[in-house]
Amino acid sequence: MNLDHAPLGHDTPYPSQYDASLLFPIERSANRAAIGVAAPLPFHGADIWNAYELSWLNAKGKPQVAIGRFTVPADTPRIIESKSFKLYLNSLNQTRLPDAQAYMERVQRDVSNAAGGPVRLALIAPHEFRDESITELPGETLDDLDIAIEAYTPAPDLLRCESGAPVVEETLTSDLLKSNCPVTSQPDWGSVQIRYQGPKLDRAALLAYIVSFRQHAEFHEHCVERIFTDLMAACRPSRLSVYARYTRRGGLDINPWRATPGWAGPATGVRSARQ
């Protein structure tokens, strides 16, 4: 993965004019090859981006604002590097557009071109802000378990099923997910929800595994795919969903989810208190 020309980790002037070329795409294939994900993909899913600092000018030059919710399908060939996304969105701050529909169509087109597939953008107008809800990921928390931790880089060998494990369907959560940006080493804080049907997971082992990402350097989307792949290899659940909600940086939060084909994804229209 060559990020030498990415804006992340470099001093970058903020643009004053619209520029779609600011978007910096990154191929998903290299990371997927490294963790053993081959075609056809063993999951479906999406990366949900919430953008809290969208603005442009109307035809008379009056500023408009909105929140944007981007849905980038997991089968698009590329992700978008987050700082480039922020720079691109800010390049529209002084752009005059006739209405919100024109803004949405332009941004949706540009981001889809960069990702290599159709990206959806939903705009949330100011009069709808009051309807935005804050809630935590549903499920049973693992974080109250009193366990000793020794591994702080991904340790899939920690994962195991309970001895004589019955087949269960359950939803488990943790707010202790942390990884680091692979370019700047800045911390990425998140919460994760693991929903599965299969042999019962050892919960203490699962929590230790989640914490093992603490010093790991990888993009959000790649971390979720690694967790999905490791869980499938460890206990072979018949159904699995992994959903992470990361705290925002630069007005953007990224919330990837991956699930076995045929299993519905999580509710994505809410955010947690930390976001």
- Residue numbers annotated as active site: 181, 188
227, 242 contact by CB (below 8 A): yes
Enter the tokens of residue 107. 């941004």
Enter the tokens of residue 2. 């060559």
Rounded-to-integer distance, Cα 254 and Cα 219, Å = 10
Q: What percentage of the chain's residues is helix, strand, coil (to nearest 5)? A: 25, 30, 45
Rounded to 10°, the helix 82-90/100-115 angle is 150
Three-state DSSP class for residue 117 = coil
8, 83 contact by CB (below 8 A): yes
Looking at the DSSP bridge assignments, the partners of residue 65 are 55
Rounded-to-integer distance, Cα 22 and Cα 107, Å = 12
Write the DSSP assignment of 60-92 as a string of letters: TS-EEEEEEEEEEETTSSEEE-HHHHHHHHHTT
Rounded-to-integer distance, Cα 29 and Cα 96, Å = 37
Residue 75 has phi, psi (to 5 degrees) of: -90, 5
